[in-house]
Structure 1
Amino acid sequence: MSSACAICRRAHRDQGDAHRTACDRCEHRIRGWLREIPRQLPLLRASLALDGGPAQGRSAGRAHSPLPLRGDVLNLLGPAAPGTVTDHHGDQSGTLPVLAQVYAWASTIADARGRDLPPFRPGADYTRYIAANLPYACTRPWIVDLFTEIGEVVHTARAITRTEPRRRPKDAPCPSCSAFALVSEDWQPYVECATCGLLLTHDEYAAHHQTVMPPLYRTALRLAVHQATQTTRKDEPA
């Protein structure tokens, strides 16, 4: 049975007896973000210092020199009490700290499944816990909030650390829609078609490339030779 993904609105097919709220494509996008978060944390710590050095001495009207650290980075790295992730009343100012977001979503998943959250170390263990339970989370209506909030914290971190992932176009056409729109992106485990949304593992793309590209190269070579021959004939004297 097909239904629309609650995140990207693309049609997708449910798997087995479980009705999926989110599609495979959006699930794998979340997985990429969860792998990226532990890599962003040391980069955020390295970005704490202000670009310019602290002012020399004391400025007028100040009892102390200004703190030579970035407040937005401190906010992302700071601790937070466990609790509900979604801010229904708009009381939260700015993005929640990274580890608070991760811990809260791990707790949400554990509560929804009627389980105790294991006492992990803060950080990568909780991102792995969320990733391991994503097939379940993708059947829940709150997967949209998880997608939005985890995505927001990753994009905020990228803007600070200046590590926007690169998107690289691939040579081979999409095996589903034939468009030359396959791209790979840093931290994402799949090659994605920007036209139809197809996902290929890197091994699947390599096999596809090996199958389709040699005939395309031969066709391109024949066309080039034919065009060169036609041009030569036109240049010959009558």
Structure 2
Amino acid sequence: MHILHSDTPSPRHEHPAAGLSLAFVGGFLDAYTYLTRGGVFANAQTGNIVLMSLAAARADLAAVGYYLLPILAFFAGVLLSERLRTGQPGHSGSDWMLWVLGLEALLAFVIGWVPVQVPHLWVNTTVSFLCSLQVNTFRKIRGLPYATTMCTGNLRSAAEHFSRFLFAADGASLEHSCGYLLVIALFCLGATAGALAVGFWGIRCIWICGIILLATLTGLAKKEDAE
């Protein structure tokens, strides 16, 4: 499968282990916010944009502000990740990505301490910020564009590559399609694990994401040392 092996060297941050781990985290976070923080999917912003528009239609300014906050947090996360990237001398290397992973892990551990009595908006906004950092920073596995915090784009890419295999007999496209489906499978596995973990550890279970993020950070750092 293309994303699992390649004869062409790829940057350390495009390593399959990192991408699949982050997809697992993405699914876990969606399950976590839905089950423990008010029934919200905080990873992506399409729902918030639609709900904000509906609130605007009924002139509910308070609701507009409520849905606007996580949208702005997502926007801010992209800005921060871009600043970290372009702030690196020469715009080369990927050390800045380790800082992103470290910040994500820190936020995950902090969220686990926030009691459910705190308005869910603040936790979900923080998760939106965390996810925007992740999805804007880690964009490829072995050169294939993908997303770690949502599935729609990955599903479209899987179908597109499968159609090339089906109608143009392109064997490489089948490998690519299977690669995208594997990413989606890890996202689903993360969501399932998140649902089970909530039953055991409640709001603290997000610390599992923090541990995975730190493990990913450590793995990428060691890969750099080996190179």
Normalized against structure 2, the TM-score is what?
0.28
If asked which structure has higher relative contact order (CA below 8 Å, sep 6+), I would say: 2
Q: Which has the larger radius of gyration?
A: 1
Which structure features the higher share of helix residues? Answer: 2
Higher strand share: 1
- In the superposition, the TM-score normalised over structure 1's length comes to 0.27
